[in-house]
Amino acid sequence: MAAIGVHLGATCACAAVYKDGRADVVANDAGDRVTPAVVAFSESEEVVGLAAKQSRIRNISNTVVKVKQILGRSSGDPQAEKYIAESKCSIIEKNGKLQYEIDNKLINPEDVAKLIFSKMKETAQSALGSDVNDVVITVPFDFEENQKNALGEAAAAAGFNVMRLIHEPSAALLAYGIGQDSPTGKSNVLVYKLGGTSLSITVIEVNSGIYRVLATNTDDSIGGVCFTEALAQHLASEFQRFCKHDIRGNPRAMMKLMNSADVAKHSLSTLGSANCFVDSLYDGLDFDCNVSRARFELICSSLFSKCVEAIKKLLQQVGFTADDINKGVDESGADKFTVLFPSGTPLPARRQHTLHAPGNTSSVCLELYESLGQSPMNEEGKFAQIVLQDLDKKEDGLHDILTVLTMKRDGSLHVTCTDQDTGKFEIITVEVAS
């Protein structure tokens, strides 16, 4: 049997097999293709994955998250010090190594990673119906030798035969078969990954099946958790508005909101709205709130813009414009980048504008036109419209209407209009012409 591929991220892990000419990520015992890289310890057992993540609220000091951020690092390392400061688990240095102190026991980061790799091994074996030993592991491009060694040792301890470590951007290109199906020709590929804790962007030149990294950058100040935190803060504001309690200083309540926000965030990647329900959030009060995709985009608009600016900055670093990129690969499944690339490149385009309407109107109609030669604004060029109704009239001032237009990978156009005062919104999707 061929080797499987395993990715151990800061927040999630997954295992993939190569079959029918493509890489296929296998589902775990819960039916999910990604497994939370979370390990919870108790006196009698270690729990890995979703169950460990869900129990973190009541077992926070004994639950290890983001072990990849400390793996192979030593005290004095700025990233390690940042991790230690944020960790809810006690971390100490003994014999020159950083270790978790849990229930008066010392646990190495490698042992935590071993448990996650073991979970991935079980997942692959269950899906394939046979033993799995050979593995190829992805690593960040900026991983140093100590970090690579620690990752390899953890995998070996889980029973894997590590055949090779592959940089994550290159693994993404291999998974999509980019550069492997054409023996000649040169192209430039942009690989972006919005992970749980960081944004990584890499520009790779592909020439006759050979990959050459032109530039890469990782921004640790933004990641998926930033979007979750922004949504959780919004939910906290809504709870305060309805229930008159400010829970932002209550760690347990905010952890509950973070869990609910995380689930909602993933739902909003495919749905127009998501429901956030938390049982007994604070002082016996339940919390129920519906969040639209338009509202989520508004809440996180500055984060989306930050992601886009990072892409533009890296392109400028190598003297490229968007037209110099032949393909784009989304390594993370992220779906919100306001960059226009050449036709056929699988990067969606996103634009947002704030429109102002007279305050004494109760509805706003936005008409969409396409350019037709020298007559860009005529009825023949109109291809859609969206109407936002039942606005609260104002004696003074204007209605501020946030309009977001997103071009999807299938060519369809997703348009949302949101009244920023009330949150009322309308959504339309214009399908690609056949």
Whether 317 is covered by a domain: the verdict is yes
Q: Does residue 220 sit in the same domain as residue 282?
A: yes
Integer Cα distance of 355 and 366 in angstroms: 10
**Percent of the chain surpassing pLDDT 70:** 88
59 versus 413: the higher-pLDDT residue is: 59
pLDDT in tens, 203-243: 999 887 788 899 999 988 888 899 999 999 999 999 999 89
pLDDT of residue 346: 41
Q: Please tell me whether residues 385 and 266 are part of one structural domain.
A: no
Q: Are residues 165 and 268 in the same domain?
A: no
206 & 294 share domain = yes
DSSP β-ladder status, 273-282 and 285-292: antiparallel
Cβ-in-10-Å burial (0-12, 13-18, 19+) of 211 comes to middle
**What are the percentages of helix, strand and coil residues in the chain, rounded to 5?**
30, 35, 35
Q: Using the predicted structure, report yes or no on whether residue 372 has a pLDDT greater than 60.
A: no
- What is the per-residue pLDDT for 334? 41
What is the C-alpha R_g of the chain?
24
- Clarify whether residues 279 and 426 are in a common domain: no
Q: What is the side-by-side order of every strand in the sheet holding 63-65? A: 46-48, 38-41, 63-65
Domain end among 148, 169, 190 = 169
Q: Are residues 260 and 339 in the same domain?
A: yes
Structure pTM?
A: 0.72
User: pLDDT, tens digit, for every residue of 181-207?
Assistant: 655 678 888 998 888 888 999 999 988
Contacts of 197 (CB under 8 A, 6+ apart): 10, 11, 66, 69, 220, 223, 224, 225
Question: Is 116 inside a domain boundary?
Answer: yes
Q: Indicate whether 328 and 370 sit together in one domain.
A: no
**pLDDT for position 349:** 55
Q: Is residue 176 part of a domain?
A: no
Contact 124, 17 (CB under 8 A): yes
In tens, the pLDDT along 56-93 reads: 888 888 999 999 999 999 888 888 999 999 898 999 99
What lies within 8 Å, CB to CB, of 82 at 6+ separation is: none
The verdict on 8 and 58 lying in the same domain is yes
- Report pLDDT for 375: 42
Mean pLDDT of 277-282: 90
CATH number of 147's domain: 3.30.420.40
In contact, 398 and 427? CB cutoff 8 Å: no
List, for residues 24-48, the tens digit of each pLDDT value.
888 888 888 889 999 999 888 899 9
Residue 340 pLDDT > 60: no
Query: Among 347, 376, 392, which residue terminates a domain?
Result: 347
Indicate whether 281 and 379 sit together in one domain. no
Residue 265: is its pLDDT beyond 80?
Answer: yes
Report yes or no on 355 lying in a domain.
Answer: yes
Let me know if residue 265 belongs to a domain: yes
What is the total count of domains within the chain? 3
Q: Which domain holds residue 236?
A: 182-347
Q: Are residues 247 and 382 in the same domain?
A: no
The verdict on residue 174 lying in a domain is: no
311: helix, coil or strand?
A: helix
Residue 415's domain is classified under what CATH number?
2.60.34.10
Q: Looking at the domain assignment, is residue 177 inside a domain? A: no
Same domain, 310 and 368: no
Question: Helix, strand or coil for residue 217?
Answer: strand
Strands 161-167 and 134-139: parallel
Q: Is 175 inside a domain boundary?
A: no
Angle formed at CA 102 by CA 98 and CA 106, multiple of 5 degrees:
45
Q: Is residue 234 located within the same domain as residue 315?
A: yes
CATH number of domain containing 231 = 3.90.640.10
Q: How far apart are CA 230 and CA 245, in angstroms?
A: 19
Domain end call among 328, 347, 366: 347
